[in-house]
Amino acid sequence: MDALVIGAGPAGLMAAQALAQAGRKVVVAEAKPTVARKFLMAGKSGLNVTKDDPLAAFAAQYDSDWLAPMLTEFGPEQVQAWCRDLGQPVFAGSSGRVFPVAMKGSPLLRAWLARLAGLGVVIRTRWRWQGFDGAGLAFDTPEGRQVLRPAVTVLALGGASWARLGSDAAWVPWLHDRGVQITPFQPANMGFMVPWSPHMARHFGQAVKGAALHAGHQIERGEFVVSSRGLEGGGIYAISRALRQGAPLTLDLMPDLALTALATRLARLRSSDSLGNRLRKLGLSPVAAALVMEFGRDLPLHQAVTALPVPLAGPRPLDEAISVAGGIARTAVTEGLELRALPGIFVCGEMLDWEAPTGGYLLTACWATGLWAGRHAATQD
Residues 251 and 295: their CA atoms lie apart, in Å, by: 11
* pTM attached to this predicted model: 0.94
Confidence band (pLDDT; 50, 70, 90) for 69?
very high
Tell me, what's the pLDDT at 271?
Answer: 85
- pLDDT, one tens digit per residue, over 10-28 is 999 999 999 999 999 999 9
Residue-wise pLDDT for 158-174, tens only, equals 999 999 999 999 999 99
Q: What's the rounded Cα separation, in Å, for the pair 192 and 54?
A: 32
Distance CA 341, CA 329 (A): 12
Separation in Å, CA 379 to CA 230, 340, 341, 372? 49, 16, 19, 11
The burial of 262, by beta-carbon neighbours within 10 Å (0-12 exposed, 13-18 middle, 19 or more buried), is given as middle
Contact 289, 279 (CB under 8 A): yes
Residue pair 308/287 in contact by the 8 Å Cβ criterion: no
Position 45 scores a pLDDT of 81
* 217: three-class secondary structure by DSSP: coil
**Whole-number percent of the chain with pLDDT over 70:** 100
CB 136 within 8 A of CB 147: yes
Query: Would you call 31 exposed, middle or buried from its count of C-beta atoms within 10 A (0-12, 13-18, 19+)?
Result: buried
- Does the pLDDT of residue 44 top 90, yes or no? no
Q: What is the reported pLDDT for 85?
A: 98
Helices (H), the chain: 10-21, 37-42, 55-59, 68-73, 76-85, 106-118, 172-176, 234-238, 240-244, 259-268, 275-282, 286-295, 301-306, 361-378
User: What long-range pairs does 274-279 form, CB within 8 A, spacing at least 24?
Assistant: 275/301, 279/305
> Model confidence over 260-295: pLDDT tens digits?
999 999 999 988 899 999 999 999 999 999 999 999
247 DSSP assignment: P
Bridge partner list, 187:
324
Question: Is the per-residue pLDDT at 176 higher than 90?
Answer: yes
CB 190 within 8 A of CB 321: yes
Whether pLDDT at 65 is above 90: yes
Half-sphere exposure of residue 142: CA atoms within 13 angstroms, side-chain side: 8
Tens-digit pLDDT profile for residues 198-226? 999 999 999 999 999 999 999 999 999 99
Q: What dihedral do alpha carbons 78, 84, 85, 88 form, nearest 10°?
A: 130
pLDDT for the residue numbered 381: 79
Instruction: Work out the angle at residue 40's Cα, subtended by the Cα atoms of residues 31 and 164, and round it to the nearest 5 degrees.
Output: 45
**Nearest 10 degrees: CA dihedral of 65, 67, 73, 76?**
-80
Q: Answer for the pair 211, 253: CB distance below 8 angstroms, yes or no.
A: yes
Catalogue the long-range contacts made by 168-173 (C-beta closer than 8 Å, 24 or more residues apart).
171/129, 171/131, 171/351
- Domain definitions of the chain by residue range: 3-187+323-378, 192-310
Alpha helix stretches (DSSP H) within 123-258: 172-176, 234-238, 240-244
Confidence of residue 42 (pLDDT cuts 50, 70, 90): confident
User: Which pLDDT value is given to residue 210?
Assistant: 92
| CATH, domain range 3-187+323-378 | 3.50.50.60
Write down the mean pLDDT value for the chain: 96
Mean pLDDT of 309-319: 97
Lowest mean pLDDT of 170-184, 220-234, 270-284, 322-336, name the range.
270-284
Is residue 143 within 8 A of residue 155, CB to CB? The reply is no
Q: Which residues of 124-155 are buried (b: 16+ CB within 10 A; e: fewer)?
A: bbebbbbeeeeeebbbebeeeebebebebbbb
User: Does residue 196 carry a pLDDT above 90?
Assistant: yes
CA–CA dist 195, 204 (Å, integer) = 13
Q: For residue 130, give every residue at least 6 positions away whose Cβ sits within 8 Å of its Cβ, in sequence order, or none.
A: 138, 139, 140, 145
* DSSP 8-state assignment for residue 114: H
Task: State yes or no: pLDDT of 1 exceeds 80.
Answer: no
Quote the pLDDT of residue 327. Answer: 98
**Start-to-end Cα distance in the chain:** 13
CB 211 within 8 A of CB 221: yes
255 pLDDT tier (thresholds 50, 70, 90)? very high
